[in-house]
C-alpha cells in the first residue's frame, strides 16, 4: 500500500528514486553527469522538503543552476515523465499530487525563462 509524502524520509526516498532514474536515462544522464551527487542530494532534499512540507530548509535560486545547461523542451518532458512516474510508483495522496503539480509548474517556468516553447 502506498502512502502520501508526509515527512522528510519520504522526500528523500522520492528524490533518490527519481535521480536513480535520471542517472540511468540516456537523454538526461549526460546533462546530470557532472553533478556531484553527494553534494547535490541534500540540496534536493531541502528543496523538495521546503516545497512539499513547508520546512523552509532550502535557500537558493534553482533556476540559476540551469541557465547554462544545454537543455530543451524534450529534456523537460522526460524530466517530468520520470518525476511523475516516480511519485506514482511510491506515493499517493494530496502531497504526492502536489509534488507532480509543482514539478509541472517548475518545468513551465524554467522553459519560459529559457525561451523554450513547449
Tell me the domain boundaries of the chain.
8-113
- Choice between 69 and 22, residue whose per-residue pLDDT is larger: 22
pLDDT of 11 above 80: yes
pTM of the model: 0.92
Question: Among the residues of 1-118, which ranges form H helices?
Answer: 8-24, 29-32, 37-53, 73-90, 94-113
Cα–Cα distance for residue pair 79/35, rounded to 1 Å: 16
Distances (CA, A) of 80 to 66, 75, 85: 15, 9, 8
3-state class (DSSP) for residue 109? helix
DSSP 93: S
Per-residue pLDDT at 75: 94
Categorize the per-residue pLDDT at 71 as very low, low, confident or very high, splitting at 50, 70 and 90.
confident
Angle among Cα 28, 40, 97 to the nearest 5 degrees reads 70
Per-residue pLDDT at 32: 87
17-37 average pLDDT score: 93
Closest residue by Cα to residue 79 from 61, 96, 64, 66: 66
3-state class (DSSP) for residue 21? helix
pLDDT of 44 above 80: yes
Residue 46, all three cell numbers: 531541502
Percent of the chain with pLDDT over 70: 97
Instruction: Identify the CATH number of the domain defined by range 8-113.
Output: 1.10.490.10
Amino acid at each position: 500500500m502506498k502512502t502520501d509524502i508526509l515527512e522528510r524520509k519520504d522526500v528523500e526516498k522520492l528524490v533518490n528514486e527519481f535521480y536513480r532514474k535520471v542517472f540511468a536515462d540516456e537523454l538526461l544522464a549526460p546533462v546530470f553527469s557532472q553533478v556531484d551527487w553527494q553534494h547535490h542530494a541534500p540540496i534536493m532534499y531541502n528543496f523538495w522538503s521546503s516545497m512539499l512540507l513547508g520546512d523552509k530548509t532550502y535557500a537558493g535560486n534553482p533556476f540559476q543552476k540551469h541557465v547554462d545547461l544545454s537543455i530543451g523542451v524534450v529534456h523537460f518532458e522526460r524530466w517530468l515523465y520520470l518525476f511523475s512516474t516516480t511519485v506514482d510508483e511510491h506515493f499517493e495522496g494530496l502531497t504526492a499530487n502536489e509534488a507532480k503539480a509543482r514539478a509541472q509548474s517548475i518545468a513551465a517556468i524554467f522553459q519560459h525563462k529559457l525561451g523554450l516553447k513547449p
